[in-house]
Chain A
Amino acid sequence: MRKDIITSAIGILVLTLVFGILYPLLVTGISQVAFPGNANGQKVYLHGKLVGSKIIGQNFAYQVVKKGKPQVDKNGNPVTNPYLKYFQTRPSATTPPDNPASTTFSNLGPNNTATLQAIQSNIQSYLGLNCATTLTSKGTCSQWYDHAVTSAAQVPVDAADTSASGIDPDISVADADIQAYRISALRRLPRSSVLNLVSKYTHDRGLGFSGEPGVNVLQLNLALDQLGGNR
């Protein structure tokens, strides 16, 4: 008994040193030397300023300003509208959306009315994005972008369903194809050059079969800004 206690006490301290301090330090050392870019979060810079991480989704929106005052909600988070000239990421359950300092699932069940409402509201926003005027309160649009989606049945599931992490960096190829109509209209760019960028920033499945292809939205939007057109 006494011997076990002594061994346990020494053991837990020594093993904490080995696995809790030395092991993470060793991994950090090797990673920082071999893959510093990845180890530090694949930072993306624009004009020398940090603007994001390549593999973390962002909310491509602007803060609403009324009478010269930036609007905030009652929790102090900015009230935002989507920036239509950028591709939009998937719906997010974090507050504010796409918040990588406090990730969370939506935790909406398959048979719940709350889920239905959330999906309906995501569909409405998505249809609203692709309506060239603005969606009326009844959800009708007088002028769509050419070939844009006009009904729920045409909305890809990734645009209607909340992502798991809330910071999904990717959208589906189908989603990007649809949004490309809006982007090329607003930026006055040929659709083909927008689609070229989409395919450039589409990653394949792992080993050719594991997972799904996805379009990295941050990289795509940064490349769009490089392309010229009407920014």
Chain B
Amino acid sequence: MALLKEDDLGTPKPKSEKTVRLEIDGFMVETQEGASVMRAAAEAGMSIPKLCATDSLNAYGSCRLCLVEIDGRKGTPASCTTPVVDGMKVRTQTDRLAKLRRGVMELYISDHPLDCLTCSDNGDCELQDMAGAVGLRDVRYGFEGENHGASEKDLSNPYFDFDPSKCIVCSRCVRACDEVQGTLALTIEGRGFNSKVSVAGADFLDSECVSCGACVQACPTATLQEKSVVAHGVPDRTVQTTCAYCGVGCSFNAELKGDQVVRMVPQKDGKANHGHSCVKGRFAWGYASHKDRITTPMIRDKITDPWREVSWYEAIDFAARRLKATQESYGRRSIGAITSSRCTIEEVWVVQKMVRTAFGNNNVDTCARVCHSPTGYGLKQTYGTSAGTQDFDSVEEADVVLVIGANPTDAHPVFASQMKRRLRAGAKLIVVDPRAIDLVRSPHIQAEHHLPLQPGTNVAMINAFAHVAAHERLIDEEFIRERCDHASFKEWLDFIKQPENSPESVAETTGVPAAEIRAAARVYATGGNAAIYYGLGVTEHSQGSTMVMGMANLAMATGNIGRRGVGVNPLRGQNNVQGSCDMGSFPHEFSGYRHVSDDAARALFEDAWGKPQDAEPGYRIPNMFDEACAGAFKGMYVQGEDIAQSDPNTQHVEAALSALDILIVQDLFLNETARFAHVFLPGTSFLEKDGCFINAERRINRVRQAMKPLTGMDEWRVTVALANALGYDAMQYDTSAAIMDEIAALTPTFQRVSHAALDENGSVQWPCNDAAPEGTPIMHVDGFVRGKGQFVLTEYVPTPEKTNRKFPLILTTGRILSQYNVGAQTRRTANSEWHDEDILEIHPADAEARGIRTGDWVSVRSRKGEITLRSRVSERMAPGVVYTTFHHPETGANVVTTENSDWATNCPEYKVTAVEASPANHKSAWQENYEATTPELRRILERGVVEPAE
């Protein structure tokens, strides 16, 4: 339980596999070709003093502490910028070098405050370490000379301070912003002694800084320092864990002092993040101890009653009795559950197991229903696996990056930085998105093609891409001959070559000129390794599954599958959405995507669990709502999701939830759904969990308990207790690791996975079994999982959600960097300083026609409902398209969205809602009702009303 200090070898690991042998201080040392002398020495355990060098950044050579002597070379070269050469003889410790190093430190310290004892970095400061290492005893220049002691601090960023008086101008922050994050918000201004780190803008908060923390991470002194360290002091223990925000799944070291998290530091060897982080994972963890956290179970008879705090026993007993009573009155299938994509796979596993055993039905679904269910369906149909094909690192070998309906710099920022590095190194970028997302044009990046298509026309677009490839003979015939199903290919080829799929035919539908589509398609088909990255802009459509298959077809047809640098890659939204899907959270599938009608699979589970398994799929989430409104579905257990805010057509959802006899909500906060709940089971934050999250690249990452559950009970134990109370006593585990063992035993793709193995070998990508004991970074390498790749016909069918005179605009929704999903976590952090309300973005022409100016209140009406929010006139929008986020419950963005959904999976069509916008001077009826009724629905006895955080 000590503080873990990661080794810093000074310069990055070179790519070369060749080795070089050299002599350092008399020892023979072997290292990789291209390594620096500094790295070679560090690998051998000899540390050369350094300040400007760190192994996350390219060598820079500015501090001059790392000077060495090399036989046959003039002077004293810097070891960080000197590559190793076979047979080189290096001396790192001589009298001459010692004198030079002391001289450098003497200069540094002559311009540095002498406040080590009261400095927030005391004990964690590289400058301090180096002064010790070189034996600095005297500063003969004195401290009265020119100095930066009076420089003003910049405290504007909510998470870190900038104190230029402590800056040694090593440029590590500037270089991190450039090389690691790719935002280039920082620079060195002025020259010589006046050189100083600066941002464009009044201060950090006013600048382009995205608060990713890379600069803070890189700073060797207290110049850039987490406010939490200033407040609490240097941490004393480390717990290695995984971020609980997006699907990138960054590995972090939680650094604590007692049970107080002092900071979250990205792990250098994190396989998804390689030492990088974003503003959410790095800084926005304060929600875990926010005053709104509910840590005591609560119950109430009806939702108009105030909540009553009760014991765990009473809450579970109450819940079990009500569930049983409901089933007795309305039948076995009248209750169900929703698993959470924010919980661990172990926590998810026990919920779906409870449904399939204690509930005795298949009424389990998960929030992937409303995000990436089409991905699972589409990729399974074509390739045979319901998951993305690549690891993140694969992008480093992509020559063409095709981003469709995703906004990585906001939603998957850490992967976006990796992608940007590749784009800056020369890969070509094509963006298919109605909005000019930041990636289209950002520092040193310019999309080769941006195709701003009309929302809802994805399938027409991807068909046109394939049409161009087919007609211009850009098909990889050899790949298809060897790897794909020939009959389906021939049929598809005939289909795709039809004139209605040509760019010229779809130009009007998509709103993108045919020549642009053709040019982009050629780049994809001929530019070398081409990789598709996509998000909810693909899936959340009436043809979401069709589009996924359209992309899969295109990738197969051009041979862009089955190796590094290519693939079809969903950027999955939540930390464990891949895992919750993998765990059998679907009404039609057991874990590992085995259909409930599969007799062998059912037999396996019946044998293991001792309960008969239903061969009929259960209800999907929209079915649950519909059946609730119809009176057939009466009880629901919702684990860590806020369906009342996140699901479409809020008024329908609210009606459904209000109709339930028993709604159990397991969450950190009294969320929007809890307004309609009868039992509240307090959940645990990721800091209190022990288990695994699975990220977008199928990577099984360990989540380790940094502190005991504030609720006094592991979340999985609560579910187990409920299952037991319902009469299913066979569900018993000692530890979360035992749940993992059961998952492995019952799921072939997880066969070799265990907590012990993950702790020993680090994260692994499934399938991980006897056939692939070390996991599977890239799928379909030697053949498709389903055997032969299957081409599927993807006819474009326009959405029924059409614009007309009454609703002439298309609303599309999405999210923003600083907020996450329904905002339950991020709104309870200082992230709201960047985004404290949902804003309607509208094109200048549409705004002018309606008399809307930036900052005006605007009413947005659809066929389903109306909301009022503030507007921003923006050239990023295409004419006819408006955009907003759904982070703030009082906005009610989903009041206007519809229940139209994907034909195959019912994934809602969030991205296309016909609306009209007009200036407004009052809130909408739904908003007024929300404000009026919510306090009542949140009352807790003797504690008063819990206000939502802002």
Q: Do A and B bind each other?
A: no
Q: Which residues of B contact A (CB under 8 A)?
A: none
